[in-house]
Amino acid sequence: MATIVQKFGGTSVATSGMRERVVGKVLACQSQGHDVVVVVSAMGRLGEPYATDTLLGLVNQAGTPSARDRDFVMACGELVSCAVMASTLRKAGLNPLPLSGWQAGIMTDNTFGDARITTVDPTYLQSLLKQGIVPVVAGFQGASSEGNITTLGRGGSDTTAAALGVALGAANVEIYTDVEGIMTADPRLVPEAKVLSFLDYGEVFQMASQGSKVIHPRAVELAMQRNIPLVVRSTFSDAPGTTIANAVLYENKRGQPVTAVAHILQVARVSIATPSDDGALELDIFSRLAEAGVSVDLINVSPEVKRFIIPEEAADKARAALRTLPLTAEFRCGCAKVSVIGTGMRGVPGVMSRVVAALREAGVRILQSSDSHLTISVLIDQGDVEAATQALHRHFGLSTE
């Protein structure tokens, strides 16, 4: 008998009809002889009463919440969802037990809003499974050794599921969501995006890091460390979805350099002109930003100018961090980063020239670019993101079978 972790995202647990689908998935898994651990996200999206963004809005409107306050209220969304899901499962004749992240053995560091899991003690969950109980675990949260409730970063219920999968030695971690699997692009932006049946951990990690919100990058990282397959699939159909595993377990038959296109919205580009060879100033710029907790990306350093991008919401923090330095920083808000990703581009010449050609044809101006062995990223105006994503998707043959 294997243990399977089944995680259900916010839209999968939003209504009673949807929760009935969840019951069906749990029963189907049990009927195959498996032990099931359920992980749930908060119910619904912004505007719905117990959604994460709604709860955040509540404390933001009330006054000046601390990071600890925000985690405290955000964690409630998953707790409510857990109790509701457990009641639904009990009505269906199962024996569920709702658990907070901490009760499920998840300990984290003390970084509010983006805590990292430090340890998972599976002993209690294992004892529940032995008794035929279905643990229903609140995703996205843990507790620090200081005794604080912490959250794991937006989208972090995936991380909970993967961490529990690793700790329990699960055969599979199933991520149930509102799309049929991981697709060649976000279907909200590219209607002709296709579901990918098999993907390598490395590709999905890159996709998730470059903005494909369908799975959290830390969930991929955790599963990859122990080679636990992740399956991303729909709560609302029986389609097989996407299996994410080690590349050696399957043959990449696509033969294309690019597997998918991803995008990140609301980034700001910072350009700082510096007198040449002022190494001390260069160091000051990046250390001040690091001390202020501003993470930089798409970094381009030359003697005369330093360019990088930051999340738009961190622009005020970055301005304050740089204020006392002898320099002028130019902030360009309203940008987006679009990336093409694929293990097939490793060592293949001409991928950048195809990116440039596709974007040129679509009339999209590249403001900056960067690459790694699995990705090429370009910075563009946010207004161009749909045209750019669709053009790249078409140009790399992702719109056709």
- Which residue has the closest beta carbon to ligand ASP? 157
Choose which of 11, 88, 144, 206 interacts with ligand ADP (CB under 6 A). Answer: 11
Q: Which stretch binds Mg ion (CB under 5 A): 149-157, 325-333, 335-343, 385-393?
A: 149-157
Q: What residue 77 binds from Mg ion, ligand ADP, ligand ASP, none (CB within 5 to 8 A, per partner kind)? A: ligand ASP
Residue 257 interacting with Mg ion (CB under 5 A): no
Sequence-ordered alpha helix ranges (H) in 323-375: 351-361
Q: How many CA atoms lie within 13 A of 327 on its CB side?
A: 26
The secondary structure of 67-127 as a DSSP string is HHHHHHHHHHHHHHHHHHHHHHHHHTT--EEEE-TTTTTEEE-S-TTSPPEEEE--HHHHH
From the CB of 41, what's the least distance to ligand ASP, in Å?
A: 4
Paired tokens of 54? 């709604």
Which among 51, 44, 41, 52 is positioned nearest to 17, based on CA atoms? 44
Choose which of 96, 155, 156, 217 interacts with Mg ion (CB under 5 A). Answer: 155
Which among 53, 103, 89, 100 is positioned nearest to 74, based on CA atoms? 53
Residue 101 interacting with ligand ASP (CB under 6 A): no
String marking each residue 265-304 x if it binds ligand ADP according to CB under 6 A: ----------------------------------------
Instruction: For residues 218 and 154, give the distance between their C-alpha atoms in angstroms, rounded to a whole number.
Output: 11
Residues contacting residue 305 through CB under 8 Å, at least 6 positions apart = 271, 272, 273, 274
Residue 42 interacting with ligand ASP (CB under 6 A): yes
String marking each residue 210-249 x if it binds ligand ASP according to CB under 6 A: ----------------------------------------
Residue 140 interacting with ligand ASP (CB under 6 A): yes
Q: What residue 52 binds from ligand ASP, Mg ion, ligand ADP, none (CB within 5 to 8 A, per partner kind)? A: ligand ASP
Residue 10 interacting with ligand ASP (CB under 6 A): yes
Choose which of 141, 212, 259, 390 interacts with ligand ADP (CB under 6 A). Answer: 212
Query: What is the enclosing helix (H) or strand (E) of 311?
Result: strand 305-311
Residue 9 interacting with ligand ADP (CB under 6 A): yes
Number of residues that bind ligand ADP (CB under 6 A): 19
How, if at all, do strands 134-138 and 35-40 pair? parallel
Paired tokens of 163? 């961490």
Residue 77 interacting with ligand ASP (CB under 6 A): yes
Residues 91-150 close enough to bind ligand ADP by CB under 6 A? none
Other Cβ atoms less than 10 A from the Cβ of 276: the count is 8
Task: Report whether 155 contacts 218 (CB < 8 A).
Answer: no
Which residue number, 318 or 374, has a Cβ lying nearer to ligand ADP?
A: 374
Instruction: For residues 208 and 215, give the distance between their C-alpha atoms in angstroms, rounded to a whole number.
Output: 6
Choose which of 3, 6, 12, 52 interacts with ligand ASP (CB under 6 A). Answer: 52
From the CB of 24, what's the least distance to Mg ion, in Å?
A: 21
Which residue number, 155 or 257, has a Cβ lying nearer to Mg ion?
A: 155
The values of phi and psi at residue 166, to 5°, are -65, -50
Instruction: For residues 359 and 369, give the distance between their C-alpha atoms in angstroms, rounded to a whole number.
Output: 12
Residue 88 interacting with ligand ASP (CB under 6 A): no
Number of residues that bind ligand ASP (CB under 6 A): 13
String marking each residue 27-66 x if it binds ligand ADP according to CB under 6 A: --------------x-------------------------
Instruction: For residues 11 and 214, give the distance between their C-alpha atoms in angstroms, rounded to a whole number.
Output: 12
Radius of gyration of the chain (CA): 22
In the complex, which residues of this chain contact ligand ADP (CB under 6 A)? 9-12, 41, 155, 177-179, 182-183, 185-188, 212-214, 260
In the complex, which residues of this chain contact Mg ion (CB under 5 A)? 9, 155
